[in-house]
Amino acid sequence: MLSELLQGIESGGFLIIRDSCRYSGRDLLKSFITAALNREEVIHILCFDVSEEELKDGLKPSDTQRLHIHNAYSDPLGWTGHPNFTVQQFSLEDLTNLVKQTSQPKPAVLVIDSLSWILRHKTPPAVCQTLQQLRKGGAVRAVIGLLHTDMHQRGTVGSVCHLATSLISVAPGVKGKEAVARVTKRSKSGKVMQDEEIFCIAEDFTVTILSKPSHAEHKTNSTEEEQTDPTANLTFNLRLSDSELEAKQKLTLPFVFSKEKKTALLHPGPGSGRILYEPDANDDYDQEDPDDDLDV
Amino acid sequence: MLHNIDVISSNMAAPVNSVGKTSADRLQVNCTSFQKKTRSKLISIPGTRPSVQNGQLLVSTGVTSLDYLLGGGLAVGTVLLIEEDRFDSYSRMILKYFLAEGVVCRHELFVATAQDNPDEILQELPAPILDDVAVPKPVEQPRLTGEPQDSLDAMKIAWRYQNLPKVQSALASSSRFGHYYDVSKTMEVEIRQAAKCHRFYLPDHITPSSAAHRVESYSALLKSLQEVIHREGFDLVTPMSKSRNILRVGLHSLGSALWGDDLCCHDKPRHSHALTTFLYGLRALLRSSLSVAVVTLPSHLIQDRALMGNITRLCDNAIALESFKGSERETNPLYKDYHGLLYVRQVPHLNCLARQLPDHKDLAFKLKRKQFTIETQIHPGTL
């Protein structure tokens, strides 16, 4: 499922990559950016966590036409007189203006690195509302955000992830460069799909999906139980030999009817006088209640 | 905004209710499972019936198993709280069943959401099965290995019982006051538009940049609801010239961050009183009018259990859903037939001394195409 998400996010979608200090999700975020650039999409990045150079490092320089990085790393709170992008500008009107400034024909994909930074300076309900409005409005086609789960309370992380249509939680894998991704995808119809995959990211930010994690195999072994045979280990014989089976089937039972009579009785044809009984309210006569027929 | 204490203490509002009751009903204390038959012929509001236990006017929630758990149905003037499952799939489904039942019984609807437009929920309502008779399928008894596959010979001795339906362990009310819905189809547009629906979509009412947003969203909702109740005459102020109807109120995902509330975001929310005040006002409003409300709440995000207890007590009926999707229970063989667990947190006692809690505590639900069944789990070895 990770590869499907890399190939494209549906319009109005909101993807969150949840990472922790044990494994950084920024490489996966850059893979998403690379994949989107390869698909000829316009991308706007709000850069809070790391500097612009560090974010551009590794991305192909030929794609910078469609890639717009808004530097919020150098002055996010507007302490100098002329900030580039402040955290206060994270609202629907300002972001819509920002995206529309580049005057591209098709709506852009907004990448936020990272949501944690914004959540520390704006209240979570306000951030959730802005994200929901961005999704519903037409200026931005999809939103991808990076969230550091160990920086916030569980309720905050839960509330923001509740809005997401796709959620990827990354954790370090067993071997060196591998990582485990737990992907949850909610479709519009309400169906939820979950998957767990091991992946590794190459130098050019392409993702290779390796096998599924091995503990899934353990589960299938334990669910296969042995079917115990109740007819074994008895002092009397419960099994039937073949000749005994034949004899049993040949035995005529006392009230056995022929096949035609059975079908006639089970599926009565037209004109055979069916009684259709619909219980009426008056038929509900309770034998124990003597006053039932009194009109009290 | 809030009504008097006098209004809150009088639990029952509908005057039609007193017609069906006898004095014996009022004095009855619910300690036995005896259910007296009532023969009230004077039900003037479609889609309602008096309760056989305490004479309250009941409406169906749309799910017949849930009606049985709540004591026959949802009493008019009460609130049902549904604690959402993790991905809000089944709680949203129950809300849709509730609204669809309102459309079929020709009640009026009031839908309030903050996340999706109310029209989106209304377009997803399931289609009712209007012929309303469950068709029994021919069921075969389990065959011994080695016997031929002939369907008639499969039941050599008990063949007369072949076409009868299998006994179900699903809980269902015996009356036909609830309807069944087909989840795979949506309700037709003509049926849906025949019902009058009032909508409240939060972004239309609140400007996003207002600083006191948090408190405003709930009070705006309460004001809007009060205005609808008064305008349409559900509050019994106008004389009984026109026929009465019930207002079904569906509030989706109350308490989530999109309502401007930080209940779900912080471990110690700063304004925890906003939602509890709203629920108190909502219940007062409902008690004095012919309405019934279903509220869904993402309780898995609320970290403060005492606050969750407060919220549960402020609603009359409360159930919680836990879906197996994504948890380790999904692969547990005990639960393979079900989609999740259902907990009944609270059942009210209206006009009587004792509550009618369901006998079975281990309840599991399964969303089938034509029915949302709630069954008691039969653990192997306990029979």
* Confidence bin at B49 (pLDDT 50/70/90): confident
Could you tell me which chain B residue has the CA closest to the CA of A92? Answer: B208
Closest by CA to B176, choosing from B237, B220, B232, B128, is B128
| Amino acid in the structure at residue B162 | Q
Domain annotation covers residue B40: no
- Cα(A15)–Cα(B165) distance, rounded to whole angstroms? 47
Residue range B341-363: mean pLDDT, rounded: 83
> Mutate which of A115, A129, A131 to test chain B, going by most B C-beta atoms within 10 A?
A129
> What would the pLDDT profile of B173-218 be if each residue is shown by its tens digit?
333 578 889 888 888 888 888 889 999 999 888 766 554 555 689 9
> Mutate which of B93, B162, B258, B324 to test chain A, going by most A C-beta atoms within 10 A?
B258
Mean pLDDT of chain B: 77
Burial of residue A277 (number of CB atoms within 10 Å: 0-12, 13-18, 19+): exposed
User: Are A284 and B37 an interchain contact pair (Cβ–Cβ within 8 Å)?
Assistant: yes
* Confidence bin at B3 (pLDDT 50/70/90): very low
Residue B142: is its pLDDT beyond 50? no
If you write DSSP's letter for every residue of B195-227 in order, what string do you get? Answer: S-EEEEEHHHHS-TT-TTHHHHHHHHHHHHHHH
> What would the pLDDT profile of B217-237 be if each residue is shown by its tens digit?
999 999 999 999 998 888 877
The shares of helix, strand and coil residues in chain B, as percent rounded to the nearest 5, are 30, 20, 50
Residues of B in contact with A133 (CB under 8 A): 203, 208
Q: Is the dihedral of CA A10, A126, B304, B314 positive or negative?
A: negative
More confident of the two residues B140 and A183: A183
**Predicted local distance difference test score (pLDDT) of residue A279:** 64
Residues of B in contact with A163 (CB under 8 A): 115, 258
Q: Report the SS3 class of residue A132.
A: helix
The distance of A138 to chain B (nearest Cα, Å) reads 15
User: Are B265 and A125 an interchain contact pair (Cβ–Cβ within 8 Å)?
Assistant: yes
**Predicted local distance difference test score (pLDDT) of residue B225:** 95
CATH number at residue A95: 3.40.50.300
Domain annotation covers residue B48: no
CATH number at residue B273: 3.40.50.300
The distance of B157 to chain A (nearest Cα, Å) reads 8
Contact B259, B217 (CB under 8 A): yes
From residue B256, alpha-carbon distances to A161, B122, B212, B283, B289 in Å are 12, 21, 16, 20, 27
Domain annotation covers residue A171: yes
Residues of A in contact with B213 (CB under 8 A): 125-126
User: Are B257 and A159 an interchain contact pair (Cβ–Cβ within 8 Å)?
Assistant: yes
Give the number of other Cβ atoms within 10 Å of residue A124's Cβ.
21
* Confidence bin at B335 (pLDDT 50/70/90): confident
User: Are B156 and A253 an interchain contact pair (Cβ–Cβ within 8 Å)?
Assistant: yes
> What would the pLDDT profile of A31-76 be if each residue is shown by its tens digit?
999 888 888 888 899 999 888 888 888 777 766 678 888 888 888 8
Number of domains in chain B: 1
Which range is most confident: A20-24, A277-281, B336-340?
A: A20-24
Burial of residue A243 (number of CB atoms within 10 Å: 0-12, 13-18, 19+): exposed
Domain annotation covers residue B140: no
**Predicted local distance difference test score (pLDDT) of residue A218:** 44
Domain annotation covers residue B119: yes
**Predicted local distance difference test score (pLDDT) of residue B143:** 39
Mean pLDDT of chain A: 81
More confident of the two residues A157 and B380: A157
Range of the structural domain that residue A131 is part of? 2-214
User: Are A124 and B265 an interchain contact pair (Cβ–Cβ within 8 Å)?
Assistant: yes
Residue B50: is its pLDDT beyond 60? yes
> Mutate which of B265, B300, B335 to test chain A, going by most A C-beta atoms within 10 A?
B265
Q: Which of the residue ranges A39-48, B149-158, B330-339 would you say has the lowest mean pLDDT?
A: B149-158
Give the pairing of strands A140-148 and A166-172.
unpaired
The answer to whether A128 contacts chain B (CB < 8 Å) is yes
Number of domains in chain A: 1
From residue A9, alpha-carbon distances to A4, A6, A68, A71 in Å are 8, 7, 19, 24
Range of the structural domain that residue B304 is part of? 76-128+180-375
Could you tell me which chain A residue has the CA closest to the CA of B269? Answer: A155
* Confidence bin at A213 (pLDDT 50/70/90): low
Contact B322, B85 (CB under 8 A): yes
Domain annotation covers residue B18: no
Please name the residues between 224 and 243 in chain A that touch chain B, using a CB distance below 8 Å: 240
- Cα(B366)–Cα(A140) distance, rounded to whole angstroms? 38
**Predicted local distance difference test score (pLDDT) of residue B96:** 95
Domain annotation covers residue B249: yes
> What would the pLDDT profile of A220-272 be if each residue is shown by its tens digit?
444 445 567 777 778 888 887 888 888 888 887 777 777 777 777 777 656 66
Domain annotation covers residue A32: yes
Of A129, A158, A191, the CB nearest to B264: A158
Residues of A in contact with B209 (CB under 8 A): 91
Domain annotation covers residue A295: no
> What would the pLDDT profile of A163-204 be if each residue is shown by its tens digit?
999 999 999 988 878 888 999 998 877 788 888 889 888 888
Residue range B334-358: mean pLDDT, rounded: 84
Residue A5: is its pLDDT beyond 80? yes
Of B37, B258, B303, the CB nearest to A128: B258
